Amino acid sequence: MIIFTKLLLAHLMGDFVFQPTRWLIHKEANKARSGFLYAHIVIHYGLMMLLLWDLSFWKMALVIAISHYLIDLAKLYANSLFKNKLYPFLIDQLLHLAVLFACAFFGNLWETIATLWEQIDWPLITAIVFVTYPSAIIMSKLLENMSEQIELDHKSLPNAGKYIGIIERLFVLIFIILGRWEAIGLLITAKSVFRFNDLKESNSRKLTEYILIGTLLSFGLAVLAGLLYVHSY
């Protein structure tokens, strides 16, 4: 595991710390002809060898560096195929991590995967999934009739409310698992403070009631998931 950790650290440093924005722009514009692409790969290789501090790993580091070059090159040419640039970024990172994992545990790859699979906390995974999109859909159905009666006089980011709800429910779930119920109160207070200006400017009783019901429902679903998980053991 220590080898994988060092390889992961080298990857994080190479991709996010030692890669200036101007390099990214130049690579996007020039693709395979960009010198920064090759400098990026050399930096990755150097970081891996530095952190591993063992010359016997030079072949593994070389394999990772070459795969990194091929994955990055494929991403540069595939970027234009995606409207949402988040997707190629995520695919790129997942492929890099898969290569690191495969190289770090090359001798007993399938045994390691089987062991990790057996150690997965499935009730926790279920709770996490529930408080994300399923809870968002449940809330939208429950609040559908109410939302039609609310008139908003300002614009907001697309799906911002949904993502805010998902993040807050994840926080609530974490706090319950850790047994830090007081942190949930602080989270509710912080959300109330941020919502205060909206409620003050709108001066709408319906909007206030709608936000209050939505907040309590969101927190309630997260608390329910957290309690079910905690008491499942």
pLDDT of res. 101 = 96
Whole-angstrom Cα distance, residue 109 to residue 113?
Answer: 6
The per-residue pLDDT for range 79-138, each reduced to its tens digit, is: 989 988 899 999 999 999 999 999 999 989 999 999 999 999 999 999 999 999 999 999
Contact 45, 39 (CB under 8 A): no
Note the pLDDT tens digit of each residue in 36-87: 999 999 999 999 999 999 999 999 999 999 999 999 999 999 998 998 889 9
| Residue ranges per structural domain of the chain | 2-117, 122-230
Average pLDDT, the chain: 90
CB of 45 within 8 A of CB of 62? yes
d(CA 34, CA 29): 8
Q: Which helix (H) or strand (E) holds 7?
A: helix 2-12
* Whether the predicted pLDDT of 200 surpasses 80: no
CA atoms within 13 A on the CB side of 190: 9
